[in-house]
């Protein structure tokens, strides 16, 4: 199935969110911020190791076959999950939607994009799924921060999703139908890690 979590981005660019609204994993000097739990620190360090050790697959997969690393459970800090097929994407979304309440948000990275000099990926795609309400959230971080834009007219307010029990808050307006979340995750895989075009996006003022 899948593989991967948080990291630092190019110096001077926004850092991925991993805690309450507006908080980031690392500061501009690559040091962990105080709010980051030991578990997330372990996951983040695992990213740079696994990303730097990428090799050309020799198990029959073509070099052009895209894959994704995903992290959303505690064990993924040691051995991330790998998504290679459309079926894998569906299994990931189903797992988030029907699994434990505090493991309903995954951090994804595409193996097709280049790593930064630090060894970390140059992007981060977060996918959240709430199976009970049949909604979810998306975020995409590269040169800028984007979160999905739903049809909610709610003014203010946040919703919380969890990566391995660690909360991440999103604007309430970021929630979109679960079917669209699934479609966006499929597009992220098939496009080699590009920001999905099947979703409307917003640049939140604080996130």
Residue 155: per-residue pLDDT: 67
More confident residue, 35 or 87: 87
Which is nearest to 109 in space by CA: 27, 17, 43, 47? 47
Residue 34: per-residue pLDDT: 53
Q: Is residue 19 a part of any domain in this protein?
A: no
Q: Are 44 and 6 in contact (CB under 8 A)?
A: yes
Q: Which residues contact 30 (CB under 8 A, 6 or more apart)?
A: 8, 118
| Domain extent at residue 171 | 38-202
Q: Is residue 145 a part of any domain in this protein?
A: yes
Q: Is residue 157 a part of any domain in this protein?
A: yes
User: What average pLDDT score do residues 22-37 get?
Assistant: 45
User: What average pLDDT score do residues 171-189 get?
Assistant: 97
Query: Distance of alpha carbon 25 from its chain centroid, rounded?
Result: 13
Domain count along the chain? 1
How crowded is residue 20: how many other Cβ atoms within 10 Å of its Cβ? 12
207 has a pLDDT exceeding 70: no
Q: Is residue 22 a part of any domain in this protein?
A: no
Three-class secondary structure of residue 176 per DSSP: strand
Residue 154: per-residue pLDDT: 66
66 has a pLDDT exceeding 60: yes
Sign of the Cα pseudo-torsion (140, 169, 149, 77, in order)? positive
How crowded is residue 23: how many other Cβ atoms within 10 Å of its Cβ? 16
User: What average pLDDT score do residues 78-107 get?
Assistant: 94
User: What average pLDDT score do residues 175-182 get?
Assistant: 98
Q: Which of 35-44, 88-97, 100-109 has the lowest mean pLDDT?
A: 35-44
Strands (E), the chain: 68-71, 81-83, 105-110, 124-130, 135-141, 145-148, 158-163, 166-171, 176-177, 201-202
Q: Is residue 27 a part of any domain in this protein?
A: no
Q: Is residue 83 a part of any domain in this protein?
A: yes
């Amino acid at each position: 199935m899948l593989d991967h979590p948080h990291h630092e981005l190019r110096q001077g660019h926004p850092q991925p969110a991993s805690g309450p609204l507006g908080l980031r994993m690392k500061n501009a000097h690559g040091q962990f911020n105080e709010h980051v739990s030991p578990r997330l620190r372990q996951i983040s360090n695992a990213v740079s190791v696994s990303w730097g050790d990428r090799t050309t697959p020799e198990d029959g997969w073509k070099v052009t076959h895209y894959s994704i690393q995903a992290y959303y459970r505690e064990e993924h800090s040691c051995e991330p999950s790998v998504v290679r097929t459309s079926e894998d994407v569906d299994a990931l979304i189903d797992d988030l939607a029907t699994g434990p309440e505090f493991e309903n948000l995954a951090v994804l990275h595409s193996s097709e994009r280049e790593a930064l000099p630090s060894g970390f990926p140059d992007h981060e795609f977060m996918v959240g799924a709430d199976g009970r309400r049949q909604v979810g959230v998306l975020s995409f971080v590269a040169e800028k921060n984007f979160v999905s834009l739903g049809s909610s007219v709610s003014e203010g307010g946040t919703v919380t999703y969890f990566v391995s029990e660690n909360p991440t808050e999103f604007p309430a307006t970021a929630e979109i139908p679960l079917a669209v979340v699934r479609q966006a995750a499929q597009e992220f895989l098939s496009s080699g890690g590009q920001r999905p075009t099947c979703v409307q996006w917003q640049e939140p003022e604080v996130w």
